[in-house]
Structure 1
């Protein structure tokens, strides 16, 4: 595979880049377990402080579930909370994993994701189910996960920390993400970026450019 000039590290988001996600699936499952008058709580949940705290590791699994029960005033079992929370995680197409493996022969490849411990455990179960691979650590050279780092995109600190840990110059990193706010923040930190604006965008990029 022909190498892109001056690029040593490829950094990939997880949701809608590696795994297909559908946030309305979680919102709709929440609504099914709520009264009609409570539906606004479901729609606002992804903007909540609980969600932000969970994705930055300020709270762990048990506290997250308790916070969900308190926020919705429900006595939901842990299993139901996890089922609703994980329902947005859909599938990992095999061709994406195949392309990552090809790229790994030429570049160092990394994941940079806003995620949490419950989601990431489920994502790796889906990786095994869909692709027969037990762990992302066998595919990526480095995993940068928000709940382990204490920061989430688009906080500038998370990009600076990634660059520091890679011991790289930022312009030698090419970052793929589906959200423009995350890309703009990465560009301000000096990274090269590519907007994943449809499911096969980043794979098409490499097919057309290398």
Structure 2
């Protein structure tokens, strides 16, 4: 594999870049459990302030679960809430992990994800089941989560922070994300970027740069 010039670190988002996610699946699961008059509450679930606060580590998992119960006015068990919350996490395609391992021979590898404690616990379970890895740290050199940094994409400060933590100038970092607002913000800081728009995007990007 030919190394890209002026790229020291590859930085990957998680959702729909490494792991497939499906928000509509969670919305359907919620709808199944709720009476019809509460179905309208599902559309406010992911954009809710308590979700953003949880993503930034401003509230605990306990407080997050309470906020979910409060939002839907349902007395769900913790296990039910955790299931619903994590149900958007699907599979991690083998070919993506194989590619990452190959890329690790030429570049530093890092993750930058807007995420939370419950999701990461579930991702670690998936990694163990699928690849025998205990966490993302087994696959990547550095792993940065919004809830640990208390910053979230597309805030420019998160990209500056990651560049500082990687001890790598922004223009030597190539960043992959599926959301255009995250890509644009990183680009403004000086990152090299690639917008992931379909399931084969990572594979095809590195195939194309070889030619």
Q: Which of the five TM-score ranges fits, normalised by the shorter chain? A: over 0.9
Hey, what's the Cα distance between the residues in 2 that align with 1:208 and 1:184? 22
Hey, what's the Cα distance between the residues in 1 that align with 2:52 and 2:184? 20
1:131 offset after TM fit, Å? 2.3
Which residue number corresponds to residue 129 of structure 1? 129
- Which segment drifts farther, 172-181 or 64-73? 64-73
Hey, what's the Cα distance between the residues in 1 that align with 2:110 and 2:2? 19
Hey, what's the Cα distance between the residues in 2 that align with 1:34 and 1:50? 20
Which residue number corresponds to residue 181 of structure 2? 181
Hey, what's the Cα distance between the residues in 2 that align with 1:207 and 1:124? 28
Kept in 2, the 8 Å contact 1:115–1:147? The answer is yes
Structure 1, unmatched stretches of 5+, are none
Root mean square deviation, CA, Å: 0.9
1:70 offset after TM fit, Å? 1.1
| DSSP-derived class of the 2:64 partner | helix
Structure 1 residues 182-197: aligned runs within 5 Å: 182-197=182-197
Which residue number corresponds to residue 146 of structure 2? 146
Hey, what's the Cα distance between the residues in 1 that align with 2:79 and 2:187? 40
Alignment coverage as a number of residue pairs: 210
Kept in 1, the 8 Å contact 2:96–2:202? The answer is no
Structure 2, unmatched stretches of 5+, are none
Query: Are 2:88 and 1:88 equivalent residues in the alignment?
Result: yes
Kept in 2, the 8 Å contact 1:10–1:108? The answer is yes
If the length of structure 1 is used for normalisation, what is the TM-score?
0.98
Which residue number corresponds to residue 24 of structure 1? 24
Kept in 2, the 8 Å contact 1:92–1:131? The answer is no
Hey, what's the Cα distance between the residues in 2 that align with 1:147 and 1:59? 9
